A and B are shown apart, each in its own frame.
Chain A
Amino acid sequence: MKQAPTLSSAFLHPACDQLPEPLLALRKQRASTLVDMPMPTRKTENWKYSAKYLKLDDEMAISLPNEGKTGNSLAVPGYKVVFINGVMVPEASEFPDMDGIAIKRFGDLSIDEASALSLQLGSTLDPKRTQFAHLNGARFEDGLLISLKPGAVLDQPLFIIHETWGDAPGSAYPRIFVDAGANSQMTLVEEYISSGDASLLANTVTEFDLAHGANITSIRLNMEGENVQHIGATGVVQQRSSRFESHCVGFGGPLRRHDLQVRLEGEGGECKLNGVVVTQGKQHYDNHTCIDHVAAHCNSEETYRNIAADKSHAVFNGRIHIHPDAQKSNADMNNKNLLLNSGAEIDTKPELEIYADDVKCAHGATIGQLDEISLFYLVSRGIGRRQANVLLTMAFINELVEQIPVEAVRETAQMRLNEFFEQTFQEA
């Protein structure tokens, strides 16, 4: 019998001495769970549309260097932290100096703090559905613990620029943990970018633990290059009356995977998840979301839009799991898709598991094409065909982009999307 391929052991022997003992122990434990981990194939349910894009060669197991690059000096309207290849660059970073808000690198944690964190890391994610979050757990070399004391409100958004860089193949494992105390508030903006042209892997995990009444906004722009495979996971756990809002904008690549898991554990919790994905050429993007309504009286609202051009492939898998005690849950999931060429592929799959009887759970998915009559209307006013196509394609996602609550990020997203579509319609 043919042996199913497993994760190469090359990925499991990382060297690292920068971290406190409890986190090193955690890494070892995670690595031990990865021994003989089967690599996803098209028969692996949560990778069936995407396994063929995953190409992890042994040479990519090497940790990318974290020296020799200073990070981009772009100004952001808020606090800025720069990570290069999963390791923070202090010279390029500016932490807020506010009461009630502590931001620490993993390497700077005391043994007690690290010990507490080692119990929290990974606790927001379902290990069965996020195999690669374990790989991050076995490999992170640095990370950021953002702690908000009860009632703390961060006055400006915190930007984390994750740059993956390499002239030789390798991988990076950035890790962020946000511990949001009761009634605390913050906006976290994560931008994933890349430089260099070797085959790279960014394997990222960001976690949010929201105590009661916490109100957290997460914005995530994935803009890495054509040489970078990205496997990311975001885990969220919410206690009573907390609110989590997520805005993800993703540009396609050779492999793009983002798992977003939200667990509503306290009554009155609310989450709103918006996502936009655009792919062209032979690009790929796979969003897997999972919302667990564990407690009663929670609301979730999810809106994702995919646009696929040329021979690209976009995937949306939206799971909603309503647990037996989660009466009066209100879940609304909507996924609309735009296919720009007959060679493009979009797979959309709602997965509803409902074990409570007094709930409202709505879902809808559509796949369509650009409207010829709208196009005629625009060109009949003298607007060029390419520009008209760009306008109509932007229109499909504008509603979501306009909801991005940080103006500078919204403008960056709009500009990048416009450039992307102008490229898409170059030949038109």
Chain B
Amino acid sequence: MLSIKNLHASVEDKEILKGINLEIKAGEVHAIMGPNGSGKSTLSQVLAGNEAFEVTSGEVTLNGENLLDLETEERAREGIFLAFQYPVEIPGVSNLQFLRTAVNAMRQHRGEEEMNAAEFMKLAREVSKQVDLDPSFLKRGVNEGFSGGEKKRNEILQALLLQPKLAILDETDSGLDIDALKVVSDGVNALRSEDRAILMVTHYQRLLNHIVPDYVHVLAGGRIIKSGGRELALELEEKGYGWLGIKDEEEASN
């Protein structure tokens, strides 16, 4: 489904990604782990199409199509979804209006009829229950005044509504207490399906107790230095990043 070959990317002329190679097939769940500053978030942002990051070389394809040629909104319509590490607060745009606009943009792209306000309200209420978010959050501004956990649940709510082909979760566990982590994980697990892939980016392995990955990759210094199965995460947890010769603090310089 997703194929990344020798991807290099920079921000403000500083190279962050230094040759990433990764293949993800439909139905698989991959976890990318790494210390702060290793390039995890950059990889997520580059895949989603944030123009603040410049791709200097390499190739990314989604189901054979060149992803890097597409605008951010086109990538989303082709099925890329990024759950933000820091979801953006947008006062003045109601969450409901935002979600419905997004869902209808996708439906329009697929040649389907747009959902009217009443139909959408019904759907949105159901899905918000699934992530344990009170429907009153639909009426508030996008993420406005939401707690950290509520913001993350709102991200998963969006993923459930938009039904992406590839869901990228950027540090989705950060800022969550154990109960919220459970709710968010249940939401992500509900997304798992044979025709969908999930890429989780995380510093800690605790999320992986709830969402069990098929593959684990360790990212350091802008490259994937080790790949393995679920057990790699456990090993990292036990031995720390130092075990692979990575100095967390040093890498955290950006």
Contact = CB atoms under 8 A, between A and B. Distances in A.
A392 B90 contact: yes
Contacts of B33: none
B187 interface: no
B71 A385 contact: yes
Contact of B93 (A376, A380, A385, A392): A392
Contacts of A373: 88
B92 A395 contact: yes
B88 A379 contact: no
Given A391-B93, A394-B92, A381 B48 contact: no
Nearest to A394: B92
Interface in A374-401: 374, 376-385, 387-388, 391-392, 394-399
Contact of B76 (A371, A381, A398): A381
B66 interface: no
A280 B181 CA distance: 47
Contacts, number: 77
Interface of B: 48-52, 71-73, 75-77, 81-82, 84, 87-88, 90-93, 97-98, 101-102, 105-106, 109, 141-142, 158, 162
A351 B48 CA distance: 47
Interface in A335-382: 371-374, 376-382
17 contacts: A372-B52, A374-B90, A377-B87, A379-B72, A379-B73, A379-B76, A381-B76, A381-B105, A382-B73, A382-B76, A383-B102, A385-B73, A387-B101, A387-B105, A391-B98, A395-B90, A395-B92
B50 A376 contact: yes
A394 B84 CA distance: 23
Contact of B106 (A372, A374, A382): A382
Contacts of A379: 49, 71-73, 76
Given A376-B51, A380-B75, A387-B105, 12 more contacts: A374-B88, A377-B88, A380-B72, A381-B76, A381-B81, A381-B105, A382-B162, A384-B73, A391-B98, A394-B93, A395-B91, A395-B92
Most buried by A among B48, B51, B92: B92
A377 B83 CA distance: 10
Contacts of B141: 395
Contacts of A391: 93, 97-98, 101
A59 B105 CA distance: 51
A377 B76 contact: no
Contacts of A381: 76, 81, 98, 102, 105, 158, 162
B97 A376 contact: no
B92 A378 contact: no
A396 B92 contact: yes
Contacts of B158: 381
A380 B48 contact: yes
Given A394-B92, A395-B90, A384 B84 contact: no
Contacts of A371: 88
Given A383-B73, A385-B73, A377 B84 contact: yes
Contacts of B72: 376, 379-380
B216 to A, nearest CB: 26
Contacts of A374: 88, 90
A395 B101 CA distance: 14
Contacts of B48: 380
Contact of B92 (A372, A376, A382, A399): A399
B17 to A, nearest CB: 18
Contacts of B77: 382
Contacts of B162: 381-382
Nearest to A373: B88
7 tightest CB-CB pairs across the interface, nearest first? A395-B92, A382-B76, A381-B102, A377-B88, A398-B92, A379-B73, A382-B105
A125 B87 CA distance: 49
A231 B201 CA distance: 59
A399 B87 CA distance: 21
Nearest to B82: A380
Contacts of A398: 92-93
B37 to A, nearest CB: 20
Contacts of A384: 73, 105
Contacts of A387: 101, 105
Nearest to A388: B73
Q: Which of A371, A374, A381, A391 has the most CB of B within 10 A?
A: A381
Contacts of B93: 391-392, 394-395, 398
Nearest to A402: B92
Interface in A112-146: none
Nearest to B78: A382
Which among B73, B82, B91 has the greatest number of chain A C-beta atoms within 10 A?
B73
B219 to A, nearest CB: 21
Contacts of B84: 377
A148 to B, nearest CB: 36
Residue among B82, B84, B105, B158 with max Cβ neighbours from chain A (10 Å): B105
B71 to A, nearest CB: 7
Contacts of A396: 92
Among A373, A379, A382, the most chain B Cβ lie within 10 Å of the Cβ of: A382
A12 to B, nearest CB: 47
